[in-house]
Amino acid sequence: MTSTSVSKTNGLGGTIAAADQCTDQNTAAGKPSWASDLRVIWHLLAHPVRGKTHAERLESFYSGQAGDYDSFRARLLHGRDELIDSLDFPTAGVWADLGAGTGKNILRAGGRCSALRQIQLVDLSPSLLDVARERLGAAGVTNAQYWLADVTRWEQAEESVDLVTFSYSLTMIPDWFKAIELAHRILKPGGVIGVVDFYVSRKYAAQGQRQHGWLRRSFWTHWFGADNVFLSPDHTAMLHQKFDATRFSERLGRVPYLPLVRAPYYLFVGTKRATDVG
Ligand SMILES: C[S@@+](CC[C@H](N)C(=O)[O-])C[C@H]1O[C@@H](n2cnc3c(N)ncnc32)[C@H](O)[C@@H]1O
């Protein structure tokens, strides 16, 4: 296993009563400021991403903007709060947030996830995971485990997890199909997967699904591709194939400083079928 469990805060089975006090969105997201935005924009547009491996490239991308991450992303990564607010957190259950970043989703869930036995935060960027550990620790979260690991190789027992979430992480995982396979494998039958992310439709979208024109598909694919965020029409197709969808919503969201355009994103919630074997 190439992944490493870097730390586990305060043991398992604890409660996070104090997390109720940490859902203030300014605290969780950081207050927007021009200086912070400029640093992020410089990183997005001008800072060369270096590295021979995916992990090195991620760290090259995030290390200089980890502290500014949440404020800017709060205005770019739409639907995350809506997704988290719509999910149930079963008593004594296990939640794996894959590509967890700075732990924002856990702060959003707050006291609603205090009865979980474990919250597993998995991410390949040490800089972002450090922010998550610091924030959740300060918020008194005691049932979180932090895994510095590639989601596609993360070792977790089969059918051991009640809830898996990916928020804007699938598009950054080159072997995203392995990540969905892993989610399927570790979820218990009847377990829930929640995903929110950017995407583009197929040229010929399935009936009842949103159709994006050539310009929209091409523009966003190239725009995000410059930062190694790979939009695809196939993520949603595979999610529908592997899970029973209970919710699928296709949207357009604002992009900071680009008033004339809207980026396509979706929310997917599904359950693992009881009879699935793989
Ligand atoms: C756009 S960020 C989203 C972070 C967080 N989920 C959020 O909503 O703010 C994408 C995250 O995926 C992580 N990531 C990318 N590839 C990964 C991989 N193969 N394994 C684990 N994490 C990965 C990145 O380090 C980053 O934290």
- CA–CA gap between residue 239 and residue 224 (Å, rounded): 21
Q: What is the pLDDT of residue 5?
A: 37
The residue among 186, 171, 151 whose CA lies nearest residue 234 is: 171
Helix (H) or strand (E) holding 41: helix 34-45
> What is the residue with the minimal CA distance to atom 13 of ligand 1?
99
What does the CA dihedral 242, 248, 250, 255 come to, rounded to 10 degrees?
Answer: -90
The residue among 87, 97, 83 whose CA lies nearest residue 266 is: 83
- CA–CA gap between residue 29 and residue 2 (Å, rounded): 31
On the question of pLDDT at 186 being above 50, the answer is yes
Mutual angle of helices 126-138 and 54-62, in 10-degree steps:
60
- Specify the higher pLDDT residue, 121 or 3: 121
CA-based end-to-end distance of the chain? 21
The residue among 106, 109, 146, 142 whose CA lies nearest residue 129 is: 146
3-state SS class at 223: helix
On the question of pLDDT at 155 being above 70, the answer is yes
Give the position, in ligand 1's atom list, of the atom nearest the Cα of 69.
9
- CA–CA gap between residue 259 and residue 137 (Å, rounded): 37
Tens digit of pLDDT for each residue in 6-37? Answer: 333 322 222 222 233 233 333 344 566 767 76
On the question of pLDDT at 4 being above 80, the answer is no
CA of 275 to the centre of ligand 1 (A): 30
**Structure tokens of 201?**
């439709």
Helix (H) or strand (E) holding 234: helix 234-242
Q: What is the pLDDT of residue 174?
A: 96
On the question of pLDDT at 58 being above 70, the answer is yes
CA of 172 to the centre of ligand 1 (A): 6
Sequence spans of domains, the chain: 4-271
Q: What is the pLDDT of residue 44?
A: 67
Q: What is the pLDDT of residue 172?
A: 97
Query: pTM of the prediction?
Result: 0.86
Q: What is the pLDDT of residue 27?
A: 38
What does the CA dihedral 135, 19, 21, 131 come to, rounded to 10 degrees?
Answer: 10
∠ Cα 231 193 151 (to 5°):
60
C-beta of 151 in contact with ligand 1 (< 6 A): yes
On the question of pLDDT at 151 being above 60, the answer is yes
Q: What is the pLDDT of residue 266?
A: 98
Beta carbons of 179 and 151 less than 8 angstroms apart: yes
Tens digit of pLDDT for each residue in 188-223? Answer: 999 999 999 999 999 999 999 999 999 999 999 999
Q: How many CB atoms lie within 10 A of CB 217?
A: 19
CA of 12 to the centre of ligand 1 (A): 24
Beta carbons of 199 and 264 less than 8 angstroms apart: yes
**Structure tokens of 147?**
């895994």
Q: List CB contacts of 34: < 8 A, sequence separation 6 or more.
A: none
pLDDT, average across residues 44-50: 72
Q: What is the pLDDT of residue 32?
A: 64
C-beta of 76 in contact with ligand 1 (< 6 A): no
C-beta of 66 in contact with ligand 1 (< 6 A): no
> What is the residue with the minimal CA distance to atom 24 of ligand 1?
99
Q: What is the pLDDT of residue 137?
A: 96
Give the position, in ligand 1's atom list, of the atom nearest the Cα of 97.
6
CA of 10 to the centre of ligand 1 (A): 24
C-beta of 78 in contact with ligand 1 (< 6 A): no
C-beta of 156 in contact with ligand 1 (< 6 A): no
**Structure tokens of 272?**
């693992």
pLDDT, average across residues 67-95: 91
Tens digit of pLDDT for each residue in 230-262? Answer: 999 999 999 999 999 999 999 999 998 889 999
What own/partner pairs with CB < 8 Å and gap ≥ 24 does 251-255 have? 251/78, 251/79, 253/76, 253/78, 253/79, 254/75, 254/78, 255/76
C-beta of 104 in contact with ligand 1 (< 6 A): yes
Domain 4-271, classified CATH 3.10.400.10, yes or no = no
C-beta of 108 in contact with ligand 1 (< 6 A): no
- Specify the higher pLDDT residue, 227 or 68: 227
What percent of the chain shows pLDDT beyond 90? 70
What percent of the chain shows pLDDT beyond 70? 82
CA of 223 to the centre of ligand 1 (A): 18
Average pLDDT for the chain: 86
Give the position, in ligand 1's atom list, of the atom nearest the Cα of 73.
9
